[in-house]
Amino acid sequence: MITFFEKSKIFHLETKHTSYVIKLWQGEYPMHVYWGKHVRGGALDWYIESPYRRRERITNARAGTPQFTKEYWPFEYPCYGTSDFRPPAFRSCDENGREVLNPRYASYRILEGKPSLDGLPHVYTEDGDAVQTLEIELVDELSGLRIFLVYNVFEKYDVITRHTRFQGGGGVQNLEIACSMSLDFKQSPKQMLQLSGTALRERHIIRRTLEQGTMSIESTRGISSHQQNPFVALVNDDTTEEQGDAYGINLVYSSSFLASVHLDMYKSARVQIGVNPLNFGWKLGEGEIFTTPEAVLVYSDRGLGEMSRRFHRIYRDRLCRGSYRDKERPVLLNTWEASYFDINYDTVMQYARQAKDLGIELVVVDDGWFGHRDGEDSSLGDWEVNELKFPGGFKRLAEELKEMGLGLGIWVEPEMVSPDSELYRRHPDWCVHIEGYIRTEWRNQLVLDLSRKEVADYVLEQLIHLLDSAEISYVKWDCNRRLTECGSEALGRERQREFHHRYMLGLYYILENLNRRFPNMLFENCASGGGRFDPGMLYYFPQTWASDNSDGYARLKIQYGTSLCYPNVAITAHISDVPNAQLGRTTSLEFREHVCEGFNLGYELNLMHLSEKEKESTKAFISRYHEMSELVRTGDFYRLKSPFKSEEAAWMLLAEDGSKLAVWYFKGQAVGEEAYFGLKLAGLDAEADYVCLEDGRVYGGDTLMNAGLNIPWDGKDYFSCMWRFERQ
């Protein structure tokens, strides 16, 4: 709910458990008053009156007069070039090179529901959702530039989304910085949490203590990146999984971004997230509009666990789309680690027969099926089935798989072009490049310039043609390189800095049209593993390949970190062969099953290599997974032990109605003669009893949460176990 208190000029944005409060200070500037646990907002008037230390300076200075010093005040969307010396939320330069602006409050409106963000992924509403929108309009009198701060309040989900809309005034403005959101904490949390790493090591959790100055994370690669996820959380020293403040901010965007926390001289934090200014610029003519990507804000007073569960619920229900949003996802077999580029009809059919026998539902033909693609060095862009490898094309394959009761999935990498391809020979100018400069190749490939409408349309048409050519029910969309030598001939001299963002708009345009055209297709996102695991992609792909690292032990950290803001059903986890292809490590099949079981399950191995015993246990495991899949799709996730703290990891999934749960425990490397303790569960009803399906014993909820479960560890490396319970 959004309430405006006329007398105090306070906006109170209320979700079920949280409050976000803004005050129009002396009718001039929207100031940040409060974000946190729910309070009665109208009563917060006093809170802002002593924002920072320099009382004598601020009490007498009226907003909008020369005596008013902005750096002492907590702004909702601070500008550049006047008396606020902290990082600005936006900066713009007019035709005369002037960068000073002073936008002041002009109007507000409160709307029912949430208008969509044209061309950009966003959290959406459905009929019956209690969602309201607040738009605060700021105007810079001299230039006529108008800025709309947009807040959407998702009451039931305990989520607020924010973005900013710029509208050009009289002359031309060149936007240089345009954050999606900015917020000044009066009392700053003490630490910043980020999800960092690289390929094969995505989204490891890092917690840093905030000090005076700026701490930031960014991507400059044109993809959200393996290196930094567009997510930050502010937490306190004592914030744990189950208690303490956690402020999570996630950007619904898949390209270069910047997220920063600036601690000023009074240790008050300014947190910001948005498109990375390093790769950004936008020319705004009179009346023209620029809309920033959306940021999702989640506060929890019950630690990181509840913050994650709030992200998970809204992402599952109101960010993911397509018929698979509400459906069980098929257990699939992907051919990549089994065959790499050496794939053909006979091999796929051989895998398929075995897969069917084990209970697998869909076979994905990964890379190598098109053009003359026998390795990494050719054919991207030529999306025609190689009939020598697949006689009769996908039509025949899909029909035969269907007869066996299996679906067909395919791998594509539509943003790319190989220099050795028909497409490149026909259109050498269609790739991203700057004339006269080297065209850096990455995995021997270049990127198509999707900022150009005709190129984006061509890619879209090719895909529609391909997906119409056979009964294909799943698409794995890959992206194996970053943007370099950026610019576009189509943009003209003054708009070159718009390239990065326009590339992403072009990609979103293709993805939106594909989603509309194929609402029953299961789209999976991939970028050399998890290089573009972000909420922007979740809008078009309800699941993402978390990492090209499929080693069970390494996956503990990757999946644990990813779960900070992304739901289990969106995180695909495949059981692969041993020794593991990436790391050479051997873990038991059971260990690998347990690692994947609480997530979106698939297989990525040569099934012929399984022993008869392993085939039997795989069959049993897949049938157990089907019983579990509802829990994976809708359950609440609790992280019980962090693999970032010790060699142990544990997590559990609890049904929304509390009737069922499953718990997984993992031990990594053993040292020898170690003491180990009970595994305490969370989120249960202390008064209720739970029967364990594994041993038939009945445990009290209080016992499970306070004394915990006994771990039957055998003292060896890579041990795991799993329990299921039903509430009595």
- Which are the catalytic amino acids? 478, 548
Report the alpha-carbon angle 307-32-566, nearest 5. Answer: 20
DSSP-derived secondary structure letter, 610: S
Nearest-angstrom CA–CA distance, 273 and 295: 7
Residue facing ligand GLA at closest CB distance? 367
Cβ distance to ligand GLA smaller for residue 81 or 375: 375
Cβ distance to ligand GLA smaller for residue 19 or 225: 225
Cβ distance to ligand GLA smaller for residue 78 or 530: 530
Cβ at position 197, least distance to ligand GLA in Å: 15
Cβ at position 548, least distance to ligand GLA in Å: 5
Cβ distance to ligand GLA smaller for residue 480 or 629: 480
Cβ at position 446, least distance to ligand GLA in Å: 16
Residues in the chain: 728
With contact defined as beta carbons under 8 Å apart, do 27 and 166 qualify? no
Cβ at position 166, least distance to ligand GLA in Å: 36
Extended strands (E) in 210-275: 213-219, 228-235, 246-252, 257-263, 269-275
Cβ distance to ligand GLA smaller for residue 360 or 475: 475
DSSP helix, strand, coil percent of the chain (3-state; round to 5): 25, 30, 45
Residues that bind ligand GLA (CB under 6 A): 336, 366-367, 411, 478, 480, 526, 528-529, 545, 548
Tokens of 414: 């539509």
With contact defined as beta carbons under 8 Å apart, do 69 and 58 qualify? yes
Cβ distance to ligand GLA smaller for residue 390 or 690: 390
In order, the DSSP letters of 177-195 are EEEEEEEE-SS--SEEEEE
**Amino acid in position 157:** Y
Q: Which residues contact 683 (CB under 8 A, 6 or more apart)?
A: 636, 638, 652, 654, 658
Cβ at position 527, least distance to ligand GLA in Å: 7
In order, the DSSP letters of 365-378 are E-SS-BTT-SSTTS
Nearest-angstrom CA–CA distance, 198 and 384: 32
Nearest-angstrom CA–CA distance, 306 and 314: 13
Nearest-angstrom CA–CA distance, 78 and 85: 10
Cβ at position 366, least distance to ligand GLA in Å: 5
Q: Exposed (0-12), middle (13-18) or buried (19+): which is 92, by Cβ within 10 Å?
A: buried
Beta bridge partners of 207: 193
Cβ distance to ligand GLA smaller for residue 506 or 529: 529
With contact defined as beta carbons under 8 Å apart, do 294 and 254 qualify? no
Cβ distance to ligand GLA smaller for residue 478 or 593: 478
Tokens of 599: 């997530």
Number of Cβ atoms within 10 Å of the Cβ of 697: 11
Cβ distance to ligand GLA smaller for residue 529 or 683: 529
Cβ distance to ligand GLA smaller for residue 73 or 545: 545
Task: Give yes or no for a cis peptide into 579 (omega within 30° of 0).
Answer: yes
Q: Exposed (0-12), middle (13-18) or buried (19+): which is 710, by Cβ within 10 Å?
A: exposed
Cβ at position 547, least distance to ligand GLA in Å: 8
Helix (H, G, I), strand (E, B) or coil at 208: strand
Number of Cβ atoms within 10 Å of the Cβ of 632: 23
Give the DSSP H/E element, type plus range, for residue 32: strand 29-37
Cβ at position 604, least distance to ligand GLA in Å: 8
